[in-house]
Amino acid sequence: MDNALIMELLRSRDERALAELKRKYDKLCLCVAGNLLSQREDAEECVNSAYFDVWNNIPPDSPEDLKTYLCRIVKNKAIDKLKYNFAEKRNPTMAVSLDELAECLPADSDDSISARKLAGDISRFLKTQDEKYRKVFIRRYWYGDSLADISGHYGINEKTVATYLFRTRKKLREFLRKEGYEYE
Model confidence pLDDT, tens digit, residues 92-118: 555 556 667 777 777 654 444 577 788
| Residue 146 vs residues 21, 41, 151, 168, 170: alpha-carbon distances, Å | 27, 21, 9, 16, 19
pLDDT in tens, 111-140: 445 777 888 888 899 999 999 999 999 888
Residues 6+ apart with CB under 8 A from 106: 113, 118, 176, 181, 182, 183
Question: For residue 128, what is the DSSP state?
Answer: T
Under 8 Å between Cβ of 126 and 138: yes
As a whole number, mean pLDDT of residues 66-88 equals 86
- The pTM (predicted TM-score) of the whole model is 0.56
Under 8 Å between Cβ of 94 and 36: yes
pLDDT in tens, 2-22: 999 999 999 999 999 999 999
Domains of the chain listed by start with CATH number: 3-85 (1.10.1740.10), 93-178 (1.10.10.10)
| H helical segments located in 12-39 | 16-36
As a whole number, mean pLDDT of residues 176-181 equals 86
pLDDT score for 89: 47
pLDDT in tens, 20-58: 999 999 999 999 999 888 788 999 999 999 999 999 999
| Residue 67 vs residues 3, 63, 74, 77, 130: alpha-carbon distances, Å | 8, 9, 11, 15, 23
* DSSP string covering 33-62: HHHH-S-HHHHHHHHHHHHHHHHHHTTT--
CA distance 29 to 36: 11
Under 8 Å between Cβ of 69 and 21: no
Query: What b/e readout covers 69-89, taking b as 16+ CB neighbours within 10 angstroms?
Result: bbbebbbebbbebbeeeeeee
CA distance 39 to 76: 16
